A and B are shown apart, each in its own frame.
Chain A
Amino acid sequence: MNCPECEATITLSPDLLDGEIIQCPDCGVELEVLSTEPLALALAPAIEEDWGE
């Protein structure tokens, strides 16, 4: 699988979950797992004003 931002090859964990946030090891961008079957990655949404803990 390639990073949608920098096209680096990303090795993915076998226990990936839909909606999981991973990081490209090359460019560092946050990616969201849109789906695991079929596998689809996209840039994670930007942080919104009320996000946090």
Chain B
Amino acid sequence: MRLGMLCSRIRVEEKLLITELNRRGVCYERIDDGEIVFDLAQRELPFDVVLERSISFGRSLYTLQVLEARGVRCINRAAVVATCGDKLRTTEALLRAGVATPRTLLAFTPEAAIEAIETLGYPAVLKPVVGSWGRMVTRVNDRDAAEAVLEQLDVLGSWQQHVYYIQEHIAKPGRDIRAFVVGDEPICAIYRYSDHWITNTARGARAENCSIEGAVGDLALRAAQAVGGGILAVDLLETHDGRLLVNEVNHTMEFRNSIDTTGVNIPARIIDYVLNQEPRTQNLEPGFSQSVAPITLSVA
């Protein structure tokens, strides 16, 4: 197997994966997404399998398309990255699969967005369709706040920030859940506790072990399958009446705070999965021919 690892900066996670590969004596080539130049006239690339660990949604999305068009098996697939990296696509995939997720509305002008927010009621949550680590996720508690945020996005934001992705606010019990799914197996989960309503560990949340058995594992696996499967981190919310909802699915999961917390050797499980992949696929046409079903927009 000619193995590649697509990387940007080498974070703790990438170093753990590299250490695991070295420990097993597995040869691989690092693909630096800041240095690589693809000659698109060249229809072959010297890889069978590539593990994507780029920190950049854009760079990974385009690199994976180039690789898959040349028959390289990518983990995760370009279609999965495209779905997970765009909240609209994620929500559509979850809804199509019947996976419980917060009620979500979509609008394209501040006026329509206000109408959507007030359909859901305050507080409501605004999110950028592309964004991670809780960045620019906003809870609007009243109309004054909603109007201020929407005006700022309208005036200062890029075209993508004029896509207003609006969700019902879920009153969490001071925590959420992150479940790790590798292939067909939910392998472990953590609670992320925070006094702040945004509970990303990137924003300082504290991790504790959470049982992956039962409803948590079942829902995480269904969510992972809904977006196309692979190596995924599924973020779950607990409602006040005991339901579990899928908040989002992450395609290049960070897990440094979860290994000791869960007792699961996450990098080893990832490398197990990668090395068990069938090398090479048929050359794929660009445009995500292995994508999930086409997007259909729901009307509120």
Contacts and interface: CB of A to CB of B under 8 A. Distances in A.
B233 A53 contact: yes
B9 A44 contact: yes
A14 interface: no
A7 B193 CA distance: 36
Interface string A7-39: 000000001011111000000000011000000
Nearest to B19: A15
Contact of A17 (B10, B130, B132, B251): B10
Nearest to B254: A53
Given A44-B9, A53-B132, A53-B252, A19 B56 contact: no
B103 interface: no
Contact of A21 (B10, B58, B254): B10
Contact of B251 (A48, A49, A50, A53): A53
A19 B131 contact: no
Interface string B126-169: 00001111010000000000000000000000000000000000
Contacts, number: 50
Contacts of B250: 52-53
B131 A21 contact: no
Nearest to A52: B132
Interface residues of B, number: 25
A51 B7 contact: no
Interface string B1-26: 00000011111000100110000000
A10 B252 CA distance: 30
A53 B203 CA distance: 13
B57 interface: yes
Contacts of A49: 130-131
B9 A50 contact: no
A23 to B, nearest CB: 11
Contacts of B132: 51-53
B253 A19 contact: no
Nearest to A51: B55
A53 B131 CA distance: 9
B10 A52 contact: no
Contact of B56 (A15, A44, A50): A50
A21 B9 contact: yes
Nearest to B128: A49
B238 interface: no
B7 A19 contact: yes
B9 A52 contact: no
A50 B130 contact: yes
A20 B9 contact: yes
Interface of B: 7-11, 15, 18-19, 32, 55-58, 85, 130-133, 135, 233, 250-254
Given A20-B15, A51-B133, 10 more contacts: A18-B10, A21-B11, A48-B56, A50-B131, A51-B55, A52-B57, A52-B132, A52-B133, A53-B132, A53-B254
